[in-house]
Structures are given as structure tokens and as C-alpha cells.
Amino acid sequence: MGVSLDRLNEMEIEGLRRDLLTWYHKHGRKLPWRERVDPYRVLVSEIMLQQTQVDRVIPKFEAFLARFPTLESLAEAPTAEVVRLWQGLGYNRRAVRLQAVARAVVERHGGRIPASTEELLDLPGVGAYTAAALRAFAFNLEDAPVDTNVRRVVHRVAYGMEYPPRVNDHALSALALALVPRGRGHAWSSAMMDVGATICTSRAPKCLVCPLRNRCAAAPIDPARLQEAARAYAPPRGPQARLRFEETTRYARGRIVERLRALSREQSVTLEELRALVGRDDVSALVEGLERDGLAAIDGDCVRLP
């Protein structure tokens, strides 16, 4: 049975909500940013969780909050210190972006993270997903942060297996939002993410133990058939995708940032040293890109953290 809104009555919607929330209250993940709901803690967790697995984020989240316990303390800190503490999470631009959000909230909102979509989207680097996540998780509002997991769950429940996709991402996001129960934004979005991360997974969904199995258009899914369909639908890989990770620009940038992290506040490193470190001739361009992203400061031939 599919659950697209054009053929789902209110009773079926309520059944879907009841089944998922009952499961979540028994089996939902115990995560530190859920233990004490606070907009600042939610903001930190959401930026850290972008492109980084939960298990890696948990210890870094605790350490980050121990050093920067308030939004004001993060806003006032030297950027170099924030970047140093981000070590191990990757995608270092997120550290700079997180601090930029903190500073904007202090300057524009007196240190209180706003709850309206418009004000959240006006903050530097905050897009539709992060705004929806803050509204749902920090303020328990009826919003739906739709990540890869949520998108997959919604497609399978409503339209069947996602290869090939039956509807576009906009339609899936609209359906995900329509399913949020009134006054349960936090629990519902947490439940959707948990079932997608632990049961309705991309490669090996556990349909037999899924709380939505009786309401899902895709269930039961044969993992072998799923993987075959995914391979058939996969787009051709581009030139960058064929490179070994050690040959990518991302890897070289990461090694440069790690070298800068190891410096004291008074130290710097030369471009020639960085060229020897990464074995690339385009080090100047890489460092200039890091400077634009707020991750490096260039003084002549010397480079340091900002």
C-alpha cells in the first residue's frame, strides 16, 4: 500500500504516524544532542553531522561543547581555535561556517537563534535543510529536514523502490513535510532519520523488523534486486570520481589544514614546505582557496591559520 497524499486518508496517515512514533519511543537512538534540547546544541550537531557519520560526531560534539559551551563563547573565539578543535570531522569549511552563524546570531538576534524560516535562511551559510532541522529539532515545529535517509524512506513507503525514482526530490520533500504530526516535529523527524539510518538502509533494508512494513509500497525489498536496480540506474562516473582519494583536491586541502593545525599561534609555514608536503604544483591556488574559505591566512610566502 502506498501513501502518496492523493490516495491516503486521514486514518491511514494517523496509523503511519502512530506506528513510527511508537517504534521510536522504544528504539530511537540515544544521542547527546537529543538528551537536552537547546537550539545552540542542535545547531552544532547539525553542522557536524553534515557529511559525517554519527559515531564520529559524538565525541567531537562533547569536546566542542566543553570548549564552547555557549553560542557567545563560540562567536568570540579565534577562528584558528575553532578550526583546530574541528580536527577529525573533515570538511573544515563547516567550522568556519558554524562560527559565522554564531557571530551573526549574536549581532542580529542578541544571541538567540531565531525560529522562523526567513530569519534562519538569512544567516550566513544556512540553507533550507539546516533551517528545517533547527525548526524541527530545536523548536519542535512542524518542519521536515529531508536528508538522504528521509528521502529514501518516504519514496519507499509512498511509491515503492527508489530505482528508478517515481517522483522528484521536491515532491518527496513536500510529502515528508505533510506527514509531520502537529506538535511532534522533533520526535517525528528524529524517528524518520533513525528508521532510515538503522532499518530502511540504502543497501540492505531490514523489512521484517521495520515499523512501517505493513504500510510500505516497497516492502518486502529483496536486497539483491535492490542492488541490481541501483547499479542499472547509476549515472556514469566523472573524471574526479575515478581518481584515488589521495589524488583529489580535497585530500590535498585536508593535508594542508592538518599542517596548519599543528602550528602554534605565532608559527607559519612556507608555500614551498606545503608544496613538498602535498607533492602538487598548484599549492598557491589551493592555499588561496583555503583563504577564501576562511581556513588560512597568507602573508607573503607564509601561511598560517586565520
Active site residues: 46
* Alpha carbon separation from 191 to 19, 140, 231 (Å, rounded): 10, 13, 29
Per the document, the length of the chain is: 306
Dist CA 45 CA 39 (whole Å): 10
* Alpha carbon separation from 280 to 239, 258, 262, 291, 296 (Å, rounded): 18, 16, 20, 18, 18
End-to-end, the C-alpha distance of the chain in Å comes to: 55
Dist CA 217 CA 152 (whole Å): 12
Give the residue among 132, 67, 116, 77 at the shortest CA–CA distance from 99: 77
Give the residue among 108, 24, 38 at the shortest CA–CA distance from 68: 38
What b/e string do you get for 195-206 counting C-beta neighbours within 10 Å, with b at 16 or more? Answer: bbbebbeeeebe
Cell numbers linked to 285: 591556488
